[in-house]
Structures are given as C-alpha cells and as structure tokens.
A and B are shown apart, each in its own frame.
Chain A
C-alpha cells in the first residue's frame, strides 16, 4: 500500500494469467491459479478490498479445493462477497477485473463449486478430491510404479516368472500424495485417477 501507484506490472499481465487459467478444466483450480498468480504478480497491494480480499479468497479456495474438514457453502458465499466488493471497491482496474473474474467463474460453474464442497471434483484436478487406484485386472505386476513412488504408498510384489502367489499391487490412500509419478511410469495405463466417492454422494 505504498503511496505511489505502481503502474508497471510485475511479471505476468492479467490477461496472460486469465488465458493460462483457462487451461485448467476444473473451475476451482482455475480460480486458485488465477488468484495465486495475481497475488504473486500484478497485485499492487495498495488498497484493502483487493489486497486483503484476494488473501481471503485464496484461503477460501484452498479450503474448497482441498476439501477442508469445515468446508461449507459459506465459503462459496464468501467468495461471491469478495468478488462483488472488489468490483465495487477496488482502486484500480486490476482489482476490479479480478473481482469480475471471481464472480464470472462462480456464476458459470456454481454447481461445480458446490460439488467440490460435497467432496467431488468432476475434472479430477483437485488432488485432494481424487484417488489413484491400480486396476487389478489390467496390472501386469511389472513393479515400475513401486520403484517410482517416493512416498512408499504402493505395495505389491513384482512378478517373477518362477514364483507364484504374489501380493497384488495396491495404492495405500493414506500415504498417497497424488504426485502422479506412478501414472507416468505405468505403460499399460493400469493406474487410474478417480474422483473420490464420498458417502454423501453414494447416498444420492
């Protein structure tokens, strides 16, 4: 919030960030990316609605995307309020644009946001809301995923031609960080990324 208006944009421009965010299919991830890049780059930190608002928006978006234990519809409402007030109250165009982005994103895909609160990411981009699973029928037990996993989240025994009775390959969800390294090495694509199916969804 320094006195002189910082006109020169640091790093990326707002349009670039918007364009890059379009690459994300999940609207929550899109918003997370946009706000993150905005705070790190073009935000001038000069006026309250924008500098404090985006800080709060980031917290709310992380709650939604990581399925924080207390996440609720109030988080989406808070985002809406932040967006509207940034449009109304921000000093410069950049802040107002960011507010508008939030509102537009929410308006276009409110259902998606609500689904995230239920613990479901349709686009499987929010890593807290996806599970990696090894398809037992497709797995050839080559053991490459086991070598690739640095978190000791995969168990199983590599198939050796002279042995029988193997321990099948499996991903331990509690240890899995969803880094995606195993998917990269699985040549037969036996490892799948699935949206988590939480009890409340199954009940529907």
Chain B
C-alpha cells in the first residue's frame, strides 16, 4: 500500500497517495482544477496555465499538474486572480476557435466548451483570428481540422510517448500548427491510425472521420469491453446508439494516455455489416450454397457428427471466449465423443507455457525483458505491447531485448542481445548465479558451463539491480525464459490470439489429433469454428464452418453456420496477464447469427444431449489455476514456427476485408513500395 498524505484543498481535507499530482488529488475530493494540456498518467507540462493554484506559504501560484501532494499542504484552487488568468486564456483560445458548438460533433465532450460555459464567455473579447487551414480528410479513419486546434499538444505528446511519433508542432505562437513531418497526409507519415490522438483531443480537431451524424457523446450507451482481434486483448469502450456501434475508443478514462488500441480494434467494427457477413445458415445443394434455417442446418450437422463419432474433428481459433471454449470441449468430448478438438493455439504455443505464465504489475516494473518477441505497432503484432513497452521506457523503465532477429523495439532498448536466445538466456542465468542469486541444483548445473559475455553480464547486472523485472517471452521460449524468472522477476508468455491463455486453461487442447494433423489427415467430419487460417478446403469428408463471415474456406464448406462476432455476444477471456476480462453483448447479432456457445448448445440438443450453459462461477473456478515454475531445460519448443504477422492477418481476414481497414492495408502496401 502506498503511503497516504493529508492535505487541504479548498477547505476540504483530502487523503492522497504520495507522489500524486494536485489535479488528481483534487479530483479525489470532487474538486475539478481546470486544465487543457494535462493528460492523466503523463508528466504535466504546464502549458495551458489553467491549473495554476495557490499553495499557502508559496509566493507565486504553481501549476497543479506538475506539483506533487505534500503532507499538510493547504491549497486554494479558486480566487479572483487565478480565475482571471483562466478566463484570459480561454478568452484567447476562443478568439482563434470556430464558435460553432451547435453543429460540432464534440459538443458536450469539449473541454473548451465547458470552460467557456464556466466563465460565461459567449464570444471572445479579443480579435477574431481565422486561419483557414485545410482539413485533412484523405483517410477514412481520422479527420484533422487544424482550425479547431487549441494547441494543447496532447496528441503530439501521446503519439511521441507511445513511439509512433508522427505529429509535431510547426510555427510559433498563434501561428503554431500540429503537423506531420513535412506536413504530409497521415497515411504517408508513418501513422498507424491507432487513434490515440483522437482519444486525447479535447476539442474537435482530431475526430473519427465517420462521426458526422453518428450522434454526440451524450446519446451513446457506453460499454466497457475487450477487443479479441489479437493477443493483447485490449480494453475498449464501445459506444452504441439505437442498437448499432458508432465508435470504439481505448478503454481508458477520458483525458488519459494510459491505454492504446490499434486501428483494428478501433475501426474494425465496420465488419459487422460487411457484405460477406453471414445472417443465415447455408447448406450445399447441388454443389451450391443455399440459405436454409437453423433446424435444417443443425439437423444435417448433427447427423454427420453422429455418424462420424470418433472420426470427427473440431478446429477452432483461440480468439473465442472461455464459455465458448468450455462448451465446445463438452460438445466434442461428451456429445460427439471424439478426442480431436484443438485450436490455432497449437500453431504457436504449447498449452503449459500459457498455463504456467504468471502475472505482473507492469506499471511498477522497472525492467522489461522481451525474449523472442517482436511486437510492432506498424506490423500490428501485439501492437499494444509495443506501445506499452515504449511508454514504460519513456517513463524510466529499462528494456532488454533478447531476439535472434532484428526488432524495431531495439531502438529504445537499454540492451539488445542478438544471436541465439537460448545461449543468451543461459549466459544471463549463469551470470546471475555468479552474482549470488540462489538457484536450485538442476539450474545451476545446466548453466555452469555457459559462456558469460560482456552483454549477458550487463543484462545480469540490470536484472540484479532492478526492483521488479518482468519478462515477456514468446510461448516457444517460455520454459527457457522461466529459468531466469526462477532467479528473479516475473514471467509472462504471450500468445498471438486474445484468449490463448483462456483456451489453454479451459482445456480446449486436444486429447487426440492436433490442429495440423486434423487438417492433413482425412477427417470424416471437420468442424471449423471461427476464422481459422485456412483458405483451401482440407481433405475432409464433410466440412462445417461456423463463422461470422463467408470466408474463402466457408465458400467450400458443406454447411455454414452464422456466428456472432465478439461484440455481439457476452463472455469472458483470460488475457496474457492472467486477468479475467468481461465482454458484454454490445449489440444484437446480425440476422440469425448466434453466439458460438448458443450454436454448440443447440447442436448438442439436435444430437439428443444437453449441455448446460457455463456459469460465471464455472469459468472463474476454471480460471483459478496455480502457476508453478520449475526448472526445465533450456530448449525451444518445436513445431511452433508460425509467422505472427500472417497468422494475425488471416484470423482477422474478414475484419480487414469487411471494413475500412482494407483501405489501410492497401495504402500501406503502396506506401511500402
């Protein structure tokens, strides 16, 4: 527990954790200190001067955003002098801001509007300044309208801190402008369209391109949810209106820079209404797929599965919920009575590497070690991890990258160890033991001959000197990396799909044939759940595809069952940190589509069995696994050589092809050429 300090704010006694700044501390007491440039979580820069407050005993006012609480502090946030400065600043900003709140999309959410209201400023008393900058509407994601910009610099800072670094100020004083390098359009500037800048913009200068006529903030119903499109499983906030999704934001507090979501998570929801979206079951009649009803489709599948029995196989993606995984396992094992059920998880991870993965508080980690991982915002491989690592490094944490390949994160790393990861890990372990770390006999004897190079020695010193190091490893290198964690720190292995850890814990791992074997061997019935990374029909007797969109594989199936996407069904996942995250049903499924769980239950019923819907308690019980680390040899798990970028793209193919992300993919290709 952090130490609490007592202070008085406007006559109210407040207890705040030591190290907190005064804006946040005042908020604890329900007192709002005006600010425009402050971003929760980031160091205050005091540019807007709105948060000036008076501290008793100090001669001049100080900025609250960059002043830490001290015991016994007495502060006053309001008096005539302070209010005059605030009013003056708002007055000045209003003189260069279009006053069209009646048609502005940001109305109701705009900080400038709020303060203008507070200070009763209908019009600026200063000279009206018009710049007439062109609006950047050259992309379908982010609209940039510099005429609305109040130069608070939040977007510039957030973009810089997360390492994307495409925005910068140009010009001076009132003629300043936020631009990309050489003022190019965003898509040519290296922008990844993550939209972090949109989340932090206090006014209408940066906005989702399609927001016009999609309603204002107060019209939305807001739901906290989780994005299931990749292994990061990021928190998101879904805004819906009249039963459809209007926008998705990062799941952080408003005005905070603490969360990152990528373009997939933010803009991929268009795919809900894509042309390829399935709204009714399909069956093959005379070589062609025809629409049918659920009863008919389930009847056909039930018959086929009954006939196949042990010869049936289920393959699924690992981006399904825990409930889906539990039900699918029951369906396969108890109803169809086959041992063959596996997920795409087996392409990149052994289930133990995820089950034994630990958890850590990343916000207090002062040393991050990446083993065999190459997160990249630009390639959208665990993009949020990339952004988070860069942010932590920016705030003072150290970073060690252990990777035989080139990684882009090296550019911010304190130390980069190239060459074979296993050799490096052994060397580090040996060096750590040399520094007096206690190791069990097996570990000590396994590394006693390992060579300690200059860089492994340095890595060991960094680990030894760190307060709480955290190791992120690829699943294939989990066992080897865990040996370091046995000496010091926490170890977390990260799968490529959102619920990789959940699927492993829920036990959706084969007792019979693996995913690869089921595709290769001729199965009597192959049942594919979700957007499995296949485009060619495997040599199966009968192919069932259960997915939200008509994929290339679905076109070759015998029966296609329409499923809901993650925004349309409730459930839970276990993210890479081991946290159970809840997903509410944000919108109703399109057409007759049903959630995976519902389909499995209905299918079991068609086969004459009953599967009970997994309860929350059942999932939480299953999720409680004790992780235990033990020495295992420094080996790389074999057979997990999948290209991360390809896998992520193919499990999200329908999301990309069915939304404006397609534009992004094509543009990125052209820019790369």
| Residues of A in contact with B (beta carbons under 8 Å apart) | 1-3, 39, 43, 45-49, 51-56, 59-60, 78, 81-82, 84-85, 88-91
Q: In the docked arrangement, what's the CA distance between A9 and B47, Å? A: 18
Residues of chain B contacted by A82 (CB below 8 angstroms): 88
Interchain CB contact (< 8 A) of A45 among B125, B157, B173: B173
| Residues of B in contact with A (beta carbons under 8 Å apart) | 37, 45-49, 52, 61, 81, 84-85, 88-89, 92-93, 95-96, 125-127, 129, 151-153, 156-157, 160, 168-169, 172-176
Pair B85/A53 contact, Cβ less than 8 Å? no
Interchain CB contact (< 8 A) of A3 among B61, B88, B160: B160
Among all A-B residue pairs, the 6 with the closest Cβ atoms:
A55-B174, A89-B85, A52-B92, A85-B88, A51-B173, A45-B172
Residues of chain B contacted by A2 (CB below 8 angstroms): 153, 156, 168-169
Q: A88-B85, A89-B89 are in contact. Are A52 and B47 (CB under 8 A)?
A: no
Q: In the docked arrangement, what's the CA distance between A151 and B625, Å? A: 90
Pair B45/A3 contact, Cβ less than 8 Å? yes
Q: In the docked arrangement, what's the CA distance between A1 and B93, Å? A: 14
Q: In the docked arrangement, what's the CA distance between A59 and B173, Å? A: 13
Q: In the docked arrangement, what's the CA distance between A39 and B52, Å? A: 24
Residues of chain B contacted by A84 (CB below 8 angstroms): 84
Residues of chain A contacted by B49 (CB below 8 angstroms): 47-49, 89-91
Q: In the docked arrangement, what's the CA distance between A202 and B500, Å? A: 89
Q: In the docked arrangement, what's the CA distance between A45 and B92, Å? A: 14
Determine which residue in B48, B89, B96, B174 has the highest number of CB atoms from chain A within 10 A of its CB, and name it.
B174
Please name 10 further chain A to chain B contacts, defined as beta carbons within 8 Å, in addition to the given A89-B52, A89-B88, sorted by A numbering.
A46-B47, A47-B49, A49-B49, A51-B172, A53-B88, A55-B173, A56-B127, A59-B127, A85-B89, A88-B85
Q: In the docked arrangement, what's the CA distance between A54 and B126, Å? A: 12
Determine which residue in B48, B127, B160, B172 has the highest number of CB atoms from chain A within 10 A of its CB, and name it.
B172
Residue of A with least CB distance to B157: A3
Pair B92/A47 contact, Cβ less than 8 Å? no
Pair A1/B174 contact, Cβ less than 8 Å? no
Q: In the docked arrangement, what's the CA distance between A60 and B174, Å? A: 14
Pair A43/B172 contact, Cβ less than 8 Å? yes
Pair B176/A1 contact, Cβ less than 8 Å? yes
Pair B46/A47 contact, Cβ less than 8 Å? yes
Q: In the docked arrangement, what's the CA distance between A54 and B490, Å? A: 53
Q: A1-B169, A3-B160, A55-B174 are in contact. Are A85 and B46 (CB under 8 A)?
A: no
Q: A56-B95, A60-B127, A89-B49 are in contact. Are A81 and B88 (CB under 8 A)?
A: yes
Determine which residue in B45, B61, B173, B175 has the highest number of CB atoms from chain A within 10 A of its CB, and name it.
B173
Pair B89/A48 contact, Cβ less than 8 Å? yes
Question: Can you list 22 A-B contacts (CB < 8 A)?
Answer: A1-B45, A1-B152, A1-B153, A3-B160, A39-B172, A43-B172, A43-B173, A45-B176, A46-B47, A47-B47, A48-B48, A49-B92, A51-B172, A51-B176, A52-B96, A52-B173, A55-B129, A56-B127, A56-B174, A78-B126, A88-B85, A89-B52
Q: In the docked arrangement, what's the CA distance between A39 and B173, Å? A: 7
Residues of chain A contacted by B48 (CB below 8 angstroms): 47-48
Residue of A with least CB distance to B156: A2
Q: In the docked arrangement, what's the CA distance between A50 and B446, Å? A: 65
Q: In the docked arrangement, what's the CA distance between A84 and B81, Å? A: 10
Q: In the docked arrangement, what's the CA distance between A52 and B160, Å? A: 24
Distance to closest chain B CB from A2 (angstroms): 6
Residue of B with least CB distance to A77: B125
Residues of chain A contacted by B84 (CB below 8 angstroms): 84-85, 88
Residues of chain B contacted by A39 (CB below 8 angstroms): 172-173
Residues of chain A contacted by B92 (CB below 8 angstroms): 48-49, 52-53, 56
Distance to closest chain B CB from A98 (angstroms): 12
Residue of B with least CB distance to A39: B173
Q: In the docked arrangement, what's the CA distance between A55 and B48, Å? A: 15
